[in-house]
Amino acid sequence: MPPSPRSTVRRLPEQARYDAETVAAVLDAGVVAHVGIVHEGAPVVIPMAYARVGDTVYVHGSTASRMMRALKTGDAVCVTVTIVDGIVLARSAFNMSMNYRSVVIQGRARPVTDAPERMTAFRAIMDHVVPGHWETVRPPNDVELRQTLVTAVGLDEVSAKVRVGPPDDDADDVGRPIWAGEIPLDTVPGPPIADAAVPPGITMPASVSGYARAFGSARPR
């Protein structure tokens, strides 16, 4: 689907991607979405857990949250996900950059009221953060479900932006005796730390012991 005027990348358009595969790959690799709304005339951006299911992104939060109350009304929303893969050091201050993968979604959220879809969203968000962990925990009870609002945003107006590779120096700067290159950035999980109240003999689930998510390790080269 071609980008809409609103989702068309204008700054460095050569880094833009609009195909569903790239968008999905970035959303599936990220773990935090920044959700932006206008609340009482002022911009508000909140980091939130999320999950992608097909062409829909789900977020949930307290029914008392101003963010969730605004999303429930169907007001305009912007959702962004960014993964920083490296710091790019050029020979000039002007050309310093970063290697990254990002997605920007624009649209309107819809409240999810269908019980099966709500449970799909709950499970998807947990399993997005820790794959397979839903099967090891108590599911939300009726009180918790009533206290939580689930909203969905479609991937109708979306763009991805990807930068890879070395610095893009001006030709006149390439010969300068200045170091240039990339500092790769990887976020990797450390050893799990059990809560002090876990009873003796409780085995660590595979979703925790085998947690292998790494950000940046799959950087395209």
Contact (Cβ atoms closer than 8 angstroms) between residue 23 and residue 83 = no
Res 172: pLDDT: 94
Which tops the pLDDT comparison, 143 or 188?
A: 143
Average pLDDT, the chain: 90
Give the residue among 7, 3, 15, 145 at the shortest CA–CA distance from 79: 7
Domain ranges of the chain: 13-209
Res 123: pLDDT: 96
- Give the DSSP letter of residue 117: H
* pLDDT tens track for 73-116: 888 899 999 999 999 999 999 999 999 999 999 999 999 999 99
pLDDT over 50 (residue 218) = no
Alpha-carbon gap, residue 122 to 140, rounded angstroms: 9
* pLDDT tens track for 44-85: 999 999 999 999 999 999 988 888 888 888 888 999 999 999
Sign of torsion, CA 176 14 83 104?
Answer: positive
Instruction: Give me the percent of the chain exceeding a pLDDT of 70.
Output: 96
Locate 62 and state its tokens: 């307290």
Locate 69 and state its tokens: 């109350």
Instruction: Judge if pTM exceeds 0.75.
Output: yes
In this structure, how many other beta carbons lie within 10 angstroms of the beta carbon of residue 148?
17
Exposed / middle / buried, residue 144 (Cβ in 10 Å: 0-12, 13-18, 19+): exposed
- Please tell me the CATH code under which domain 13-209 is placed: 2.30.110.10
